[in-house]
Chains A and B, each alone.
Chain A
């Protein structure tokens, strides 16, 4: 099987099938069974087809033709062994503790020096051990481009050098994302068929009261829901498969509009339409930054493509973004291109010599010389942060996180999809995909944003009582984890967490949906003891909770999926913290986050499923959900537990898959240019025992403490939560009101905007309208004067005069025209007489002499 031709075909199929479903439902949805019942089946069939195609691509094409590293790359091992793979440069780390210790003693800057091939000699001494190993390559050599297949399907348009295409860029991350998205989306589709059955007949919305006091009654919109779901999946696949940034942006916006449709599905509810608007507008704010980033990158790199464009013989025709920034000559390190510093050169020619010099020498021994090509660095920084802005909006990071909790207004399957596989995943995915473009400074920004988001959202989740809202803030918090991890250089950890989180968050949301479906309320204070009524939901959700808090045996390889990914993140944070003492907060934030996560997740589970029922009425009416909903729960629970595991008998596991598509030039430790002290550590350093041990213990102990605290308060009831609430009233209020974010935005942004709008409107009404009305009045007056003076007298007089003269003339002539025969004869006679007189006069005066002569003849 030729992956270069089969993979795009398979994935294109998986990508387009939901589109077909969308189009079919769009045009024929109403007629598919009563209230479009079969539209749901069609959409489900489409997404299952996508899933089948995706898994075929994964197991039938990708894995056979791109074998995973031979040796397991287990986190607990002291060393990371990297077998040579595909087009990757051989990468390895020092395999002895001693060697690593030596490395840590080296000043971080030395890593940069080590990267250069020219400096092989200088680093021989500290790396004696490493050099002697079996994988005796340069220990710090950077990695080249990962195996990828890129190409173009269709060229939309071409403006000069700007070429917009529908293309693809497929590496193992793409395939993995395809599998993950299609699998979760399939589960959501199945689940939604059960969950949305209310829409199969006329639906009475209990939350919308009409003006006459009745509840709104409207036709069901079952088919429309699945129509949007299909479009949503299509858009998400489009982002994942996109081969260039422009295409990403197109599908990015498509995802945005789909989320708008789905969040506002109950459009008659004021809160739903407001939430949909909020999601859309907040995302636009982020997209604005993304546009700036795109412009910055395109104007300097001249391409939107990720991968290189090759011709039929495999020769590189046009270099993609990544390989332009990570050239082979530079040892795949991130380096601003010539075009990026060209402007600075042109602006200050005096300065340019030193720039060229420094750019030529920056890789050489003069490592302590202050870097001078800052313009290019700034441009890259702006481009990176700009693109990240889009991700901030889409992935609900601080300060644009406010839309995600409100997005709970959509039906729960939408929440599950938005929160796990599609919308928010898109942001993280783009950061991961775009990783090679982020400078260390941009990564630091990402890390801090992720850190702040993580803590804020986690604290808000503590006090929330709406079951979906807790999960929503949990999502925001987990997304913060991912961003933090990516920002700290933990690419695999971040992407791994994206995938594991997708499964267990999808599971958790669907469980909460099942609960809501059973008890008809979102409020946890009215639940309790439900595990007896709905056991499948309860225990699948317990699995999800354990997965999200990262339950597992510390320092082992046994645990739920979250255990692997979250520990990897915390390890990366420790690794980063050990090299950047100034940013110690980034080291401890995920640990604190783990504590809070464990607390609020089990608070949720205990309040919902354990203890005694708080509302007997609701409890009595509670029931387990139908099979079409619980089976997806079980499927997802299995994945939530086991997605981090290695497939027995093989070396197939998600981290190995992700490692295969590690972005170009990210393996080596890198150092900031604008912030020289900033060091983004090599991710594999985090697997060192010295890092792993404290990190693992910290993660486990904090999570356990959180779990314990939740148990004490909500299960054993040793502490009364109400009393706690009383004693921490200000804090509780602060958290209850979500850190007053909505209010702050309301006061800082919305109110001034409204004020400005009001002022402008007053300006409009008062001044512009006055000018308009004034000029109109002047014109009117003037025209009245002209009308009276000129029109009435001159023009009308002229016209009337002509008419009158003609009229009078006609009247006069009319009198001649008597119709009397005798009178006519008189006229003839008189005419003859006159004629004769005239002739004789002429003749006598000799005017016409000839006439007279004729007559005389």
Chain B
């Protein structure tokens, strides 16, 4: 028997948690529970990220997803959480149809995942030889337009593709700004018009 390879064990642990809670999200009828399961699932995913050597991204996953997006979602749940919407049953027919289609999709994806030889595991020695490195600095430089990770790429064609992500970063920034303004506008304008209805709802 070989020595236990701990990264694999942790992989199984994190992947098991995230998949299990993803199934929980899928199967749960209660919206509040769904939100809770999702938080756990996403948090477990960040563990997967750490295992894959993406420490900064894993941290971002925890902060933005778990700490930001999901809080937003839960706000939404709370704002709309009237009794009748907490649990909404799906028709049995829908379940059947969804599982048939989802099963097919899953089968295809999994078979595809195992059909590519390059995606198989490395040898243990090879894997242990890999030196972990901090990714924060290269990521920050990459977002500013400088790729420090592969400056000595011999292939000229590949070097062209190694430009930084400054431009995309700017676009995403502006996009984020627009989205925030738009979301605020969408949510606010309608509510104002339907203010009496909301008030009457509140009085109930």
A: residues with CB less than 8 A from B are: 822, 826, 829-830, 832-833, 836-837, 840, 855-857
Contacts and interface: CB of A to CB of B under 8 A. Distances in A.
A833 B97 contact: no
A856 B102 CA distance: 25
Interface string B85-108: 000000000100110011011001
B94 A822 contact: yes
A826 B98 contact: yes
B51 to A, nearest CB: 25
Nearest to B104: A833
Given A856-B116, A856-B118, 8 more contacts: A826-B98, A829-B101, A832-B105, A836-B108, A837-B108, A840-B108, A856-B117, A857-B118
B67 to A, nearest CB: 28
B112 interface: yes
Contacts of B97: 826
A822 B101 CA distance: 13
Contacts of B98: 826
Interface in B114-135: 115-118
A832 B112 CA distance: 13
Contacts of A857: 118
Nearest to B111: A840
A830 B105 CA distance: 8
A826 B97 CA distance: 8
SS class, residues of chain B in contact with chain A: helix
Task: Give the top 5 A-B pairs by smallest Cβ distance, nearest first.
Answer: A836-B108, A829-B101, A833-B104, A833-B105, A830-B101
Contacts of A856: 116-118
B104 A855 contact: no
Contacts of A840: 108
Given A822-B94, A856-B117, A836 B101 contact: no
Contacts of B104: 833
Nearest to A837: B108
B116 A833 contact: no
B112 A836 contact: yes
A822 B98 CA distance: 10
Contacts of B105: 829, 832-833
23 contacts: A822-B94, A826-B97, A826-B98, A826-B101, A829-B101, A829-B102, A829-B105, A830-B101, A832-B105, A833-B101, A833-B104, A833-B105, A833-B108, A836-B108, A836-B112, A837-B108, A840-B108, A855-B115, A855-B116, A856-B116, A856-B117, A856-B118, A857-B118
A829 B112 CA distance: 16
Contacts of A829: 101-102, 105
Nearest to B118: A857
Contacts of A833: 101, 104-105, 108
Nearest to B97: A826
B49 to A, nearest CB: 25
B158 to A, nearest CB: 15
Contacts of A832: 105
Nearest to B91: A822
B88 to A, nearest CB: 12
Interface in B56-105: 94, 97-98, 101-102, 104-105
B40 to A, nearest CB: 24
A826 B116 CA distance: 27
Nearest to A836: B108
Contacts of A855: 115-116
Contacts of B117: 856
A828 to B, nearest CB: 9
A836 B98 CA distance: 18
B192 to A, nearest CB: 26
B103 to A, nearest CB: 10
Nearest to B98: A826
A840 to B, nearest CB: 8
Contacts of A837: 108
Q: Which interface residue of A829, A830, A833, A840 has the most chain B CB atoms within 10 A?
A: A833
Contacts of A822: 94
Which of B94, B97, B98, B101 lies at the interface centre, i.e. has the most chain A CB atoms within 10 A of its CB? B101
A574 B32 CA distance: 148
A826 B115 CA distance: 26
Nearest to B116: A855
A819 to B, nearest CB: 16
B46 to A, nearest CB: 26
A839 to B, nearest CB: 9
Contacts of A830: 101
Nearest to B90: A822
B118 to A, nearest CB: 7
Contacts of B115: 855
Nearest to A835: B108
A822 B112 CA distance: 26
Nearest to B102: A829
A539 B104 CA distance: 137
Nearest to B115: A855
A822 B105 CA distance: 16
A497 B101 CA distance: 127
A829 B105 CA distance: 7
Interface in B19-58: none
A105 B155 CA distance: 147
A826 B93 CA distance: 13
A792 to B, nearest CB: 47
A829 B94 CA distance: 14
Nearest to A833: B104
A729 B117 CA distance: 147
A837 B104 CA distance: 10
Contacts of B112: 836
Interface string B153-189: 0000000000000000000000000000000000000
A853 to B, nearest CB: 12
Nearest to B94: A822
A645 B5 CA distance: 164
A574 to B, nearest CB: 126
Contacts of B101: 826, 829-830, 833
A840 B97 CA distance: 23
Nearest to A832: B105
A856 B114 CA distance: 11
A833 B102 CA distance: 9
A578 B105 CA distance: 141
Contacts of B116: 855-856
A534 B108 CA distance: 136
A780 to B, nearest CB: 62
A851 to B, nearest CB: 13
B102 to A, nearest CB: 7
A855 B108 CA distance: 15
Contacts of B108: 833, 836-837, 840
A714 B88 CA distance: 136
A854 B94 CA distance: 37
A359 B116 CA distance: 128
Contacts of A826: 97-98, 101
B77 to A, nearest CB: 18
A855 B117 CA distance: 9
A849 to B, nearest CB: 16
A718 B134 CA distance: 167
B104 to A, nearest CB: 5
A142 B94 CA distance: 132
Nearest to A826: B101
A802 to B, nearest CB: 35
A821 to B, nearest CB: 12
Of the candidates B102, B104, B112, B117, the one having the most CB atoms from chain A within 10 angstroms of its own CB is: B104
A49 to B, nearest CB: 93
A822 B97 CA distance: 11
